[in-house]
Amino acid sequence: MKLRDLMFVLPNLFTVSSILCGFYALTLSGGDATPSMLYQAALAIFFGIFFDGFDGRVARLTHTQSLFGQELDSLADVITFGVAPALLIYRWALAPLGFVGLFVCFAFAACGALRLARFNVLALRNPKGGGSSFFVGMPIPFAACGLISMVIAFQASGGGTLPDNARWPVLGVVSFLALLMVSTVRYRTFKDVKLSPKSAGVAVAILVTGVVVATQIHPAWVLVAYFGLYLLSGLVESAVMLRRYVAEKRASALATTLDDDEHEDDRVDEEEVL
């Protein structure tokens, strides 16, 4: 096998490692899973996010991007960040809610698959769009991160069985993340981030936030805080972009109306002269 062929295998090894993490999380979440096993499953999915974050970068660094790698990555994401966290959160919090909990967990996995299918279609329509600055809808790894961050934070800061009064808020979070994945809310990819005073200031602010959360609350809640910041950033930025778009539309419509009025006045003046 030539060195070039081995280079094509390398990014796919990261993707397969992500599948392994998702499969391991599924085995831990199935059956009579204990809180300790669910915590380990959440950590396995977290490591899956790590591997998923590197396969694309390795492919770009080695110039081995391929349609096969893209499809494999999507299939891996459905398993590791769709099915595995859905089963995990069902066992951890939503099983006592019966059919409602089951349906919401299924909706999370289904919305993740729909988002990946839409991403692949858009990528095929615009092959040069890989350098886009935004994701359309929350990426499924980040949505999975939102679920596992709750499990990790709860188990690491005390653990035990989740209180009954916390199950419905968890249900709301899962439903909201499922809707965000299939929404048109834009989230930054951070592919175009360059070292500058502004980016350095943002990085320092993020680090300070993590230190404050770790020292004042618990280190396990840092992941929850970082995910919350990312979630809010997309919502705020999309709201600003929508407001700007509406303002531009109104300005364009007003300009068109004024232009039509001027033409009407010109026609009236011409008729009076005649």
Residues of the chain with pLDDT under 50: none
Q: Give one word for 76, left, alpha or beta, with left for phi > 0 and alpha for psi -120 to 50.
A: alpha
d(CA 173, CA 178): 9
Say what the pLDDT of residue 199 is. Answer: 73
d(CA 119, CA 256): 36
Long-range contacts of 221-226 (CB under 8 A, 24+ apart): 221/153, 221/157, 223/145, 223/149, 223/152, 223/153, 224/149, 224/150, 224/153
Say what the pLDDT of residue 251 is. Answer: 80
Say what the pLDDT of residue 43 is. Answer: 95
pLDDT tens, 113-140? 999 999 888 877 775 555 567 788 899 9
Say what the pLDDT of residue 189 is. Answer: 80
Say what the pLDDT of residue 78 is. Answer: 95
Other CB atoms within 10 Å distance of the CB of residue 223: 21
Say what the pLDDT of residue 88 is. Answer: 96
d(CA 76, CA 163): 33
Say what the pLDDT of residue 122 is. Answer: 81
Question: In angstroms, what CA-CA distances link 258 with 35, 198, 266?
Answer: 67, 41, 12
Q: How many CA atoms lie within 13 A of 107 on its CB side?
A: 18
Say what the pLDDT of residue 5 is. Answer: 65
